[in-house]
A = this chain, B = another copy of it.
Amino acid sequence: MTKNTPEKIVSLSKIKMACQSCSLYQLCLPLGLHGEDLERLEDIIKRSHPLKKGATPFHQGDKFEAIYAIRSGSVKTYTIADDGSEQITGFHLPGELVGLDAISEDNHPCTAKALETTSYCEIPFHQLEDLSGELPSLRHQLLKIMSKEITHDANLLMLLGKKTADERLASLLLSLSSRLSNRGFSATEFNLSMSRNDIANYLGLAVETVSRLFTRFQDQGLVKVDGKFVQILKNDDLKAMISECVQSDPKMA
């Protein structure tokens, strides 16, 4: 792929994105668009070379030019504070959009890094914004995706603010499981593309704690873990973990 630039033997018309034929259509930006409208969106979308593991499509502070839709692979986003400490703000799977947080300041508040070989579509934002003026369903879908991100973050806040280490890991595993299954992958077994360190960082825990949790979850028969390969054995028990837990404070709000 990198050696003999085979793009040259592919007809130009094929290089153009075909969202219609993309398995992620219903999860991604073009949802709700058809016919000519969809073609207009496809016209502004650029497919780029796949990212190798560790590659960074954009860095914190970079001028905001485009948002990125993941086609395959996975990406983490993280911010680095003044003191150099890092906080991972998300793990992103195929069909998800990355970079929307850059609109506000017109530069990226976080860095994105491929956790494995990752292909993606690049959508120049100003063109998208203009086009969204003309296409109500594109406009709505964009707002919807952003709104979803806000909700997702709020859930994560709940996770970090209130939950125990067990519940945090259970939440992450269940989130990955359900998102992967929405994308046509197995809900019960998958490879974690991120390191234990990344998981710990994201969940606000120490690596050692994450490691111990995996061991314990396995001892409890909840999961089977072999390095990055995870099998969910008792989905319901994991779910129960994250809802039963926090004994409610009956008088509040």
Contact = CB atoms under 8 A, between A and B. Distances in A.
How many copies of the chain does the oligomer comprise? 2
Interface string A98-115: 001111110001110100
A46 B201 CA distance: 44
Tell me whether chain A's interface is mostly helix, strand or loop, or mixed.
helix
A48 interface: no
Given A160-B157, A247-B83, A104 B151 contact: yes
Interface string A73-90: 000101111111111110
Contact of A153 (B81, B85, B154, B249): B154
A188 to B, nearest CB: 23
Contacts of A89: 154, 157-158
A143 interface: yes
A89 to B, nearest CB: 5
Contact of A161 (B105, B136, B162, B203): B203
A202 B154 CA distance: 11
Contacts of A85: 162, 246-249
A66 to B, nearest CB: 14
Given A79-B155, A197-B252, 16 more contacts: A76-B253, A81-B243, A82-B243, A83-B243, A83-B244, A83-B248, A85-B248, A89-B158, A101-B147, A101-B150, A103-B146, A111-B253, A133-B136, A156-B157, A161-B201, A161-B202
11 contacts: A76-B253, A79-B154, A81-B246, A82-B243, A85-B247, A87-B161, A89-B154, A133-B136, A143-B146, A149-B150, A161-B201
